A and B are shown apart, each in its own frame.
Chain A
Amino acid sequence: MMIQYGPHDKMCDLICEDHFMLFVLSRFGIPMGFGDSDIEEICKRNGVDVKTFLAIVNMNLHGEGTLPKVDKGLNPEAIVKYLHNSHDYFLDYRLPSIRARLLEAMDGEKDVAVVVMRYFDEYVAEVRNHMDYEEKVVFPYIRALVQGDSGIDYHISIFRKQHSDIESRLTELRDILVKYYTGKTGNVFNAVLFDIFTCADDLRQHNMVEDCLLVPLIELLEK
């Protein structure tokens, strides 16, 4: 049976069950050092909507198998803020740090490094486009909708139809490196490969929050 976390579970139990939740915490702006406080307490202390927090946490823990029940009790602005913070995280920190380590890992493999970096840069540009669209079109629409401004000519169904997956080209790179890379490998190479695995999972979960939480919620609000 899968555990669903509730408001009165301890925050530290959640992190220890799945350390991936560290990513979720940092995107909600929740710092460490929670002692034995429960989830509700910590969320209140940090101004985070506890219901939204739990929906995202439980969905990330259980994957596509058990999608959360979406109802109007969820806070769309909290979800948007979470997604915005994770965009910043991927674009300003995670992907640049993978790029730097990739370069370091392939030091001395000049030709391969050139084409791998070209691949990676194309991929990052694609991610940037994908996220820019959400930042410039989708999120402003949602903020306006929540504030009762129906003046923006947009509909969440447009987003639902065109929203593409974001990690498949990164997993392709991962698989190419695993299956075909014959150059020098070592600790740095393994570390960056590990980063790519984690980052791809993280991106997939990020997209799932958009597809399975944000979109259904906005569809409810549009009615």
Chain B
Amino acid sequence: MGKMLKFVIVEYSDIIADGLSTILRQINNSFRVIRMGQGGQLHPYLMAEKPDVLIVNPLLPELGSPQKLRLHTELPDLVCVAFVDSLREQKHTEGFDETISLFDSRDAIREKVERLASRQETSEEGEKVLSQREKEIVALVVRGYTNKQIADELCISSHTVITHRRNISSKLQIHSSAGLTIYAIVNKLVKLEDIQGEA
């Protein structure tokens, strides 16, 4: 797990809150785990702390649904985890991303948290897709156009072309034009006959 996640625990029992934070830190010691104190107000607290993950008793009166919570706190990506014990039935956990039970083993909790963390990472990967403009530039690069020719074709400055190319390299982690060609063919940005004869 590459990312340092920030957790907020909202739980009245000291035993449960301390136990949970100990286990989370054992899973990954770069996790930040904080707990909302007694008498704290949920919405303002979350808006100030901006956690990645909220672990909360689903019966907490001021909670409402996770959907509404995300909306009100302006935290659209907040991962909501319900903490349940045997008395709190599963039916209250609708809309939550995950459920952790009082009786889950350490390994079960680890598995759940790692799954959530990797989901966080994939959603960040998603931002690495190329923009339409960048795709046009890839298509021209693999056809063998120089930066100057690309600039003329798209009516932008050579400097802008270079910036685009740098962003493309860093998004795709492809640094050679032969590598870019494979990417362009696989993603159907160009046809093979467009690039025949080009290096």
Which residues of A are at the interface with B, using a C-beta cutoff of 8 A? 110-112, 114-116, 118-119, 122, 169, 172-173, 175-176, 179-183
Contacts and interface: CB of A to CB of B under 8 A. Distances in A.
16 contacts: A111-B185, A112-B185, A115-B181, A118-B178, A118-B181, A119-B182, A169-B179, A172-B174, A172-B176, A173-B179, A173-B182, A175-B174, A176-B183, A179-B172, A179-B173, A180-B172
A112 B176 contact: no
B175 A181 contact: no
B186 A181 contact: yes
Tell me whether chain B's interface is mostly helix, strand or loop, or mixed.
helix
A180 B187 contact: yes
Interface of B: 172-176, 178-179, 181-183, 185-187, 191-192, 195
A180 B181 CA distance: 12
Given A111-B185, A112-B185, A183-B186, A172 B191 contact: no
Given A172-B174, A180-B187, A111 B192 contact: yes
Contacts of A172: 173-176, 179
Given A172-B175, A180-B172, 10 more contacts: A110-B192, A112-B182, A115-B185, A115-B195, A119-B179, A172-B179, A175-B173, A176-B179, A179-B172, A181-B186
Find the residue from B181, B182, B192 having the highest chain A CB count within 10 A.
B182
Contacts of A176: 174, 179, 182-183
